[in-house]
Amino acid sequence: MANVIEVGKAVAEFLKQTLNVKDAKVTKVTKADEGWETEAEVYEESSFIKALGLPTRVQDRNFYEVKLNDSLEVESYRRKGSEKEE
């Protein structure tokens, strides 16, 4: 069974590859009934400025929630604040 450090590494690597960012900082890891629930902080290009088509170095600070199963396979992820919180 995986430990917290392995979970953190798996989440950081997943987010770096998926979002094409330099770094992902895992801020929370919780063992759930059938896997793991995590949160991570990521700095991404500003989506607003990017939508305007302007070149920029401005970075948005976003938080992602990532759920993994016991085999450390990502089952779901979402950016926090991107939809109504429950």
pLDDT-derived band at 82, boundaries 50, 70, 90: low
Residue 69 lies in a domain: yes
Q: Which residues of 30-56 are buried (b: 16+ CB within 10 A; e: fewer)?
A: eeeeebbbbbbbbebeeeeeeeeeeee
Residue 21 lies in a domain: yes
Query: Is residue 18 one of the residues assigned to a domain?
Result: yes
Q: Is residue 86 part of a domain?
A: no
Question: Which residues are bridge partners to 42 per DSSP?
Answer: 24, 62
Residue type at 70?
D
Q: What is the DSSP letter of 22?
A: S
40-49 per-position pLDDT tens digit: 999 998 888 8
Q: Determine, yes or no, domain membership for 84.
A: no
Look up the domain containing 50 and give its range.
4-79
Q: Within a domain: residue 27? A: yes
Render pLDDT for 36-73 as a digit per residue (tens, 0 to 9): 999 999 999 888 888 899 988 889 999 999 999 999 99
Q: Read off the pTM.
A: 0.85
Is 35 among the domain residues? yes
Question: How many structural domains is the chain composed of?
Answer: 1
For the record, the structure tokens of 18 come out as 């998926």
Residue 33 lies inside a defined structural domain of this protein: yes
End-to-end CA distance of the chain: 30
Residue type, 2: A
